[in-house]
Amino acid sequence: MVGLLAELQKRIPDGWFLRRLLPAALFVVVALVGGGALGHSRWNDVPLARARIADALRTSGGLTADGIASLVLFAVPVVAAAFAVPYAAAAIGALASGAWPWWLMPVGRRVTAWRAARWVPPDVLARQSVRARADGHALRADRLDARAARARSADRPGSPTWCGDRFRRTEAQVARDTGGDVTSGWTALLLGAEEAPRAALAETRDSYDAACEALAWSAAFTVLGAWWWPAAVAGVLLGLASWRSLRTAVEALCRTTEAAFTLHPPEPPAPGPPEPR
């Protein structure tokens, strides 16, 4: 099986292999060994886990019919999970960007109202930090400084998520500075931009997609924790790291988009024919 994975790595693009197929194989192994064999009662039984993995890898005398059947039974859920992850990541990306479906809009409005109620302008946070530091509360001052740094915009939240607010701020800035529309002008920008801006946009967008896929895997491992609790711990840790990566990717994507539209502003519409008198 290890040889099979090595051969697949040579023939499959690295992005698809490392981000989808390999995590899918790991997830299926953890589900079979952790959730199927160990469970909660024997969660740290390393000899049992080693024995189950060794039994799955043992194909003495070449691939027999049983060995081929075992490979097929292992490959089917791996490939299914690898193909399902992009769809789950697309849903996570839509939720992160604030584009919630209509049936979730009541929840979205409540979340937006909650974010707006607890929002504090950056200048107010800076003044609170100065007062806290003067009173000797250095830790509280550091926390306020961190909040002020994250809240770079002085605008009240208008989306259920931070990423949605950042995307909308970029759309407003592009419209104000260049008169362009990010939504309608994105394809024209990719086709008309030079190689360097196009590569930068593709790289930042790929980082955003990778962070969404990592969040999908974190959710899958967290759910698997219902059968083997260490998987939930790994899923939560992966989710925290993936959410940080997502925010970094969103910031990079927005800055790159703003720079690309500034370097390649949309052309003004051609004047139409004069109206007949």
pLDDT in tens, 162-185: 999 999 999 998 888 888 788 888
pTM: 0.81
Do the Cβ atoms of 128 and 194 come closer than 8 Å?
Answer: no
The mean per-residue pLDDT over the stretch 235-252 comes to: 94
Q: What is the DSSP annotation of 148-179?
A: HHH----SPP-SSSHHHHHHHHHHHHHHHHH-
d(CA 5, CA 123) in angstroms, rounded, equals: 54
pLDDT at 60 over 50: no
Helix (H) or strand (E) holding 81: helix 65-96
The mean per-residue pLDDT over the stretch 28-55 comes to: 77
Give the start-to-end residue ranges of the domains of the chain.
2-42+67-119+156-263, 120-155
Tens digits of per-residue pLDDT, 185-234? 888 887 877 888 888 888 999 999 999 999 999 999 999 998 888 999 99
Q: Who's near 41: CB < 8 A, 6+ residues apart?
A: none
Q: Which residue has the tokens 């584009």?
A: 99
pLDDT at 273 over 60: no
